[in-house]
Amino acid sequence: MKTAIISDIHGNKDALIAVLLDIKNRNIHSIYNLGDSIYGPLFPIETYEILVKSNIQNVRGNCDRILLEQNFDNPTVQYVQDLLKDEHKTWLSNLPFSLETKEFYFCHGTPTSDEMYLMEEMSATGPILKKTEDISSMVNGISQNIIFCAHTHVPRVVYLPNNKIVINPGSVGLPAYEDSFPIYHKMESGSPFANYTIVTKQDDDWIVEQIHVPYNRDAAILQSEKNGRIDWAIALKTGRI
């Protein structure tokens, strides 16, 4: 009756190992991953190997898609691309945009885009929660009442008047980042822990648990610094930019 939802691992194998151990210790066997699995200056191949050996259903994130694009001018993208072999590229190319079950709908960003935020909009002062009607309109065509999205790296739950619940599990591997799309903004979870979500059906209701798992971050921080990503090192240390 319990389902675990993970996302935005970003090549952080140690965070993923800690989260999967926590899930195993809770005797949960159903796991869904919302994408952005191996992009980052960390351990992409090791993370891939953990995922393919685990019983996890994966969807595609925008960073999964970017890794298959050519001439993408970004040193971290190049770092990962240089490590990819045909089997890794095949796995990435076969990831579905979304997944559906009777109860759940899973996507990375929104039901129509892997790089837009479903619950947040950007302002000059940073991200703010969208109006209820705006979120509702973006999931209007989804038949399931429980909708999972990711991409922001910040855990959030929004209840809609039509009994739909939109849930973001946060990020397993990168608790904060900055981006220039659609305007410059920072997304910060505020803690260095690995985040994921558990949902449990109880009668006609759903219990949503946002889990925060501590883990040894030393190797990930060192690897970030080695690859020139001090911003990642700070995010991994503090959960902030």
Q: pLDDT tens for residues 204-225? A: 899 999 999 999 999 999 999 9
pTM (predicted TM-score): 0.98
* Contacts with 218 (C-beta within 8 Å, 6 or more apart), sequence order: none
CB 109 within 8 A of CB 121: no
Residue 73 is predicted with a pLDDT of 85
Consecutive 10-residue averages of pLDDT for the chain (241 residues): 97 98 98 98 98 98 95 91 98 98 98 97 91 97 97 98 96 97 94 98 95 98 98 98 94
Residue 124 is predicted with a pLDDT of 82
Distance from C-alpha of 40 to C-alpha of 22, rounded to nearest angstrom? 23
Residue 233 is predicted with a pLDDT of 98
Residue 70 is predicted with a pLDDT of 86
Residue 1 is predicted with a pLDDT of 84
Pick the CATH number of 2-238 from 3.40.50.10860, 3.90.1150.50, 3.40.250.10, 3.60.21.10: 3.60.21.10
DSSP for the chain reads -EEEEE---TT-HHHHHHHHHHHHHTT--EEEE-S--S-SSS-HHHHHHHHHHS-EEE---HHHHHTT-SS---HHHHHHHTT--HHHHHHHHT--SEEE-SSEEEESS-SS-SSS-SSEEEETTEEEEPPHHHHHHHTTT---SEEE--SS-S-EEEE-TTS-EEEE---SS-SEEEE-SSS-EEEE-SS-SEEEEEEEEETTEEEEEEEEE----HHHHHHHHHTT-HHHHHHHHHS--
Residue 119 is predicted with a pLDDT of 98
Residue 111 is predicted with a pLDDT of 98
Residue 225 is predicted with a pLDDT of 98
